[in-house]
A and B are shown apart, each in its own frame.
Chain A
Amino acid sequence: MRVLVVEDEPQLTLALERALEAAGFAVDTAYDGENGWHLGDTESYDAAILDLGLPKIDGITVLGRWREAGRTMPVMVLTARARWAEKSQAFNAGADDYVTKPFEMEEVVTRIRALIRRAAGHAAPEIACGPLRIDTNGGRVSRDGMPIALTAQEFRILSYLAHHQGRVVSRSELVEHVYDRDADPDSNVLDVLVARIRRKLGVEAIHTLRGQGWRMEVPDDGA
């Protein structure tokens, strides 16, 4: 899962980036409204964390421009302004959640996960796929109750496919959502990672569709 953080305080941005990466997210950052708007408008993100008091273009304007351009990713507003008039303004502009500073990192991570999950149509934090259980909050995967150890990047790929199970996810879409924009993955890396995940899962859950991408789906019998 790939998240954009738009925050003008470098130390806070770094702390958010670390916390989100530790939770298994690919993170891009922007330090002003103009750059943040540009990234959100041109790249694919599963969610964005947006400060309101930004240099160059304020957060409400950035959010309004994204929504006008048809960008539907869930946006969490992160701001020092705690008055309800400002919160209402942000929600009216298209925000999906609102966290006021100072905040607990765990709360931000949990709420970002919930936003992404709800945007993909999953209400519960645990996504089921046949005998597989993917705990999006804890970053854990199990098969028939037995834990499966995955690296952060493997979990990111599995999590994205699980969020969109039943749908074909193209190679470029997967790259966009599991790597940050500075990464330049080799074309075979994804194939290698998916093959490794398949082996670890021990169940035929990820199907390769030649020339199209991958689809996560497990038949009802779980075999």
Chain B
Amino acid sequence: MTAPDSLRRRLILGAGAWVLLALAAGGLVLGHAFADSAEQAFCRRLDTHLRALLAQVETAEDGRITVGRPVGEPRFEQPYSGWYWQVSDDAEVKARSRSLWDSALPVVVAAEPGAVHVRRETGPRGQILEVMERDLLLGDDNRRLHVAVAADRAEVDAEIGRFRLLLALSLGGLGLGLLAAVVVQVGYGLKPLRRLEGELDQLTRGAPRLGGAYPREIAPLVEAMNRVLDHDERLIRHARNHLGNLAHALKTPLAVLRAESGGAPATDTQIERIARLIDLHLARAGSDSSSARAMGRRIPLAPLLADLAAALRKVHAGRRLDIAVTCPPEADFAGEADDLAEMVGNLMDNACKWAGTRVQVSAGPGLIRVEDDGPGLSPEQAEAAAGRGIRLDESVPGSGLGLAIVADLAALGGLSLSFGRSEWGGLAVSLAEKIPPS
């Protein structure tokens, strides 16, 4: 079962979220720092002009207030340029910059003379002005003058806006670059896992163990899996050897018994029955011992069928049978190789025993069909032969079909076994996977 999430997705999402968060925080800090710096520079300019203006304010002998022209900012001379200055007292405007023309800046009386106030105000043309002002006491009569310098904020706001746009574009580009790097890095980092996946796939196709060098983080897992596989293989081999030895130990005395009995029919029948029961139960035990290893494994059919056909040509050499195998190279079958050989070998051997001259084996993915030109089976015989868990002593007496082991192994392996007529009128047996291969 595949989880809805994947390691790759998790790593990319995790790294992506962290990159976006870091870039957003960095962007905010940088934007704020730049805006603060720009504001301070703007205020310093206003402060410079205010100080220059204060230095220019003079009182004439007749009490009039005069102001020399502040230098350094030509926009004070340009009407409604956004840069203004103004000197006023409690009653009226005493002097103003040419840029104010006939307008005036609203006056706010400062509480403490000498203290600098900064505020925002709407200018003559609707501009948002940054106003820096200070009150000044003149002469012995402590005459109070209000001196103000103002500048349009549009310039500094535009500068901050431009910087923020540039910052956003740069960080966005950097973010995309980092995300691409994360995707590449995750892909590179997970490459050994994809290789492992491929090797696991090969394992189901018959490879004995996982091979190759893996990174330190995965190597222990691969080694542990190989240890399990080796252990599994040893157990199966041990079980197989044990079964082989058991067969030898049981059937050799039977062979002696048969030889000593001199072929007495009653004894022969019983000996034959015991031998076939031994074969059936050993085949079943062999299948049980290897079924765990067979999970998900697929066996290529072409070499298996070629081996069996070559063996049967020798076994039935005296009859000059035409044993034909049609099998595309990609055809395979689920299960364990020895069990499959046991089933197909018995089917082909049975076909050879009953065939007149021809045996045809055709295979495709998940399907094997064995046909002969012999007498075939009656529906009752076919039903008896295909019965689940058929007991040898209950099978069709004297039929010599040898299908009991096939029926039993097919049932154990969850395979379907069906009987029909071949095109020559003989028996056609099909062995198929119940769930077709994908």
Contacts and interface: CB of A to CB of B under 8 A. Distances in A.
A120 interface: no
B337 A85 contact: yes
Contacts of B268: 104
A106 B256 CA distance: 14
Contacts, number: 103
B321 to A, nearest CB: 13
B258 A118 contact: no
B286 interface: yes
Given A101-B275, A104-B268, A80 B258 contact: no
A92 interface: yes
Best-surrounded residue of A19, A53, A96 (most CB of chain B within 10 A)? A53
A79 B307 CA distance: 19
A100 interface: yes
A96 B314 contact: yes
A27 to B, nearest CB: 14
A217 to B, nearest CB: 26
Interface stretch (A9-17, A139-147, A154-162, A174-182): A9-17
Given A86-B244, A118-B317, A9 B256 contact: yes
Contacts of B251: 80, 100-102
B342 A104 contact: no
Interface residues of B, number: 41
B247 A123 contact: no
Contacts of B249: 80
B172 to A, nearest CB: 65
Nearest to B307: A88
A109 interface: no
A105 B260 CA distance: 10
B149 interface: no
B347 to A, nearest CB: 10
B contacts with A: majority SS: helix
B256 A15 contact: yes
Contact of B318 (A85, A95, A118): A118
Interface in B256-291: 256-260, 263, 268, 271-272, 275, 279, 282-283, 286
Contact of B244 (A81, A91, A105): A81
A80 B310 contact: no
Interface string A197-211: 000000000000000
B263 A105 contact: yes
B310 A91 contact: yes
B317 A85 contact: no
Given A88-B311, A101-B254, A102-B271, A11 B248 contact: no
A15 B310 contact: no
A87 B244 contact: no
Given A11-B259, A114-B318, A80 B248 contact: yes
Contacts of B257: 102
B252 interface: yes
B315 A97 contact: yes
A156 to B, nearest CB: 22
A149 interface: no
Nearest to B252: A9
A102 B275 contact: yes
Nearest to B311: A91
A92 B311 CA distance: 8
A88 B348 CA distance: 13
A25 interface: no
Interface in A1-57: 9, 11-12, 15-16, 19, 53
Interface in B162-218: none
B337 A98 contact: no
A83 B342 contact: yes
A199 B225 CA distance: 77
A84 B260 CA distance: 28
Contacts of B346: 84
Best-surrounded residue of A81, A82, A106, A118 (most CB of chain B within 10 A)? A82
A72 to B, nearest CB: 14
Nearest to B262: A105
A86 B247 CA distance: 12
Contacts of A102: 251, 254-255, 257-258, 271-272, 275
Contacts of B315: 97-98
Contacts of B48: none
A127 B39 CA distance: 121
B231 interface: no
A82 B281 CA distance: 12
A19 B259 CA distance: 9
Contact of B247 (A9, A19, A80, A85): A80
Contacts of A100: 251, 275, 279
Contacts of A103: 255, 258
A88 B345 contact: yes
A92 B249 CA distance: 25
A137 to B, nearest CB: 11
B337 A11 contact: no
Contacts of A114: 317-318
B248 A53 contact: yes
A87 B311 contact: yes
Interface in B208-250: 244-245, 247-250
Nearest to A53: B248
13 contacts: A12-B259, A80-B252, A80-B255, A81-B248, A88-B308, A95-B314, A96-B314, A96-B317, A97-B314, A101-B255, A102-B258, A103-B255, A105-B263
Given A84-B341, A85-B342, 4 more contacts: A9-B256, A53-B248, A98-B315, A100-B275
Interface of A: 9, 11-12, 15-16, 19, 53, 79-88, 91-92, 95-98, 100-106, 114, 118, 123
Sorted nearest first, the 5 A-B pairs with minimum C-beta distance are: A84-B345, A15-B259, A80-B251, A102-B255, A91-B311
